[in-house]
Amino acid sequence: MITLEDYIVLATLLFMIGLYGVIVRTNLLMLFFATEIMLNSVNIALVAISNYYEDLTGQMFAFFIIAIAASEVAIGLGLLILWYKRHGNIDLNTLKSMKG
Amino acid sequence: MEVIAFYTFAIAIIASFLIVVTSKNVLYSMSALASGMVLISGLFFLLNAEFLGVVQIIVYTGAVIALYAFAMIFFDSAKDVKESRRSRAIFLLSTFSSILLVLLMTIPMSSDAVSALYPMHQDVGNAQDVGMVLFTKYLIPFEVAAVMLLVAMVGGIVMAGKKMDRYLGNDKEEISK
């Protein structure tokens, strides 16, 4: 029998994979993928909690997280394309225009 | 049966997401991300959240991954990405901090005081149940999310579509063309 803890452990593992991606990758597109992984892992945890407590609030939050992820991708990719057109690469280490 | 399905999906999801964060090629990474998203919807079906499972497939693999795929037109996606490695200490610290974060969020669940705010109805399907709660209790957030998506769409069009016919960089040879 699968318990709630199994789903939470899975979500934690996926969140760690996503965080590892955010820490290690310096390509901005890869960073976006890692962010998607983290958002999805949180969705799994929310839906699992929603199922085991027989409460719909978790599913509602997962639903709004999906909406936020969609708009984040639209805005983020717009900015990324703009940056790539100006500078020719999307490496995180080149984003140093604020450096004194 | 449920155990087999859970472990199959879990291992497949972890494997495809590991490919996402370790792959050197953006296209491989994106394909692995798409497969991971579809497999996550399988977990949602397993958790009796049919509506969210369908939304996951439609929005993530249908819209988000398609958006990434179209954005690949603008980037050199065929060649491998070169990245500078970072130190190992940061990785260990991030592991511990993520475990701590998840514990912080999930420990309150072990309390007995947790009770359902909007309990599920056993006699109606999941989609109907979600609809009833979404359009009564969460109507304002739903409308705000709609406005947010509109703002994001306009912002995306304005930023990505600006001066598409002109070169915006500062490479002299390209400007003189």
Angle (nearest 5°) at CA A76 between B172 and B97: 120
Please say whether the beta carbons of A55 and B46 come within 8 A: no
Higher pLDDT, B76 or B175: B76
The residue among B56 and B161 whose pLDDT is bigger is: B56
Contact B49 A59 (CB under 8 A): yes
Distance from C-alpha of A61 to C-alpha of B32, rounded to nearest angstrom: 25
Q: Which residues of A touch B110 (CB under 8 A)?
A: none
Its domain, for residue B23, covers 1-79
Number of domains into which chain B is organized: 2
Residue B96 in any domain: the answer is: no
Q: Tell whether A29 is within 8 A of chain B (Cβ).
A: yes
% of chain B residues with pLDDT over 90: 30
> Distance between CA A57 and CA A63 in Å, rounded?
10
With CB atoms and an 8 Å threshold, state whether A56 touches B130: yes
Phi, psi of B130 (to 5 degrees): -60, -45
Q: How confident is the model at residue B172 (pLDDT cuts 50, 70, 90)?
A: low
Residue B27 lies in a domain: yes
Counted domains in chain A: 1
Q: Give CA torsion, residues A55, A60, A65, A70, to 10 deg.
A: 140
Residues of A in contact with B55 (CB under 8 A): 63, 66
Task: Look at residue B133 and tell me whether its pLDDT is greater than 80.
Answer: yes
Domain membership flag for residue A100: no
Q: Is B170 within a domain? A: yes
CATH number of the domain encompassing residue A57: 1.10.287.3510
> CA of B97, closest CA in chain A: separation in Å?
9
Res. B37 pLDDT band, cuts 50 70 90: very high
Instruction: Give the domain extent around A72.
Output: 4-93
The answer to whether A89 touches B166, Cβ cutoff 8 Å, is: no
Residue A43, pLDDT above cutoff 90: yes
From chain A, pick out residues whose CB is under 8 angstroms from the CB of B170. 86
Residue B97 lies in a domain: no
Whether residue A74 and residue B59 make contact (CB cut-off 8 A), yes or no, is no
Note the pLDDT of residue B169. 61
Q: Which of A2, A14, A21 sits opposite B6 (nearest CB)?
A: A2
Decide if A74 is inside a domain.
yes
Residue after which a domain boundary falls, among B79, B96, B119? B79
> Is A99 part of any domain?
no
pLDDT of A90: 79
pLDDT of residue B119: 78
* Distance in angstroms (rounded) separating the CA atoms of residues B70 and B155: 17
B157 located within any domain = yes
Category of A88 on φ-ψ map: left (φ > 0), alpha (ψ -120 to 50) or beta = left
Q: How confident is the model at residue B85 (pLDDT cuts 50, 70, 90)?
A: low
Return the number of CB contacts < 8 Å for A and B. Answer: 226
Please say which residue of B79, B99, B114 terminates a domain.
B79
* Residue B48 domain flag: yes
Minimal Cβ distance to A86: which of B29, B44, B169: B169
Chain A residue nearest residue B128, CA to CA: A56
Asked if B44 lies within 8 A of A47 by C-beta distance, the reply is yes
Residue that is last in its domain, among B63, B79, B95: B79
Residue B85 falls within a domain, yes or no?
Answer: no
Nearest beta carbon to residue B55 from set A20, A32, A66: A66
- With CA atoms as reference, report the closest residue to B65 among A11, A62, A77, A13: A77
In a domain, B47, yes or no: yes
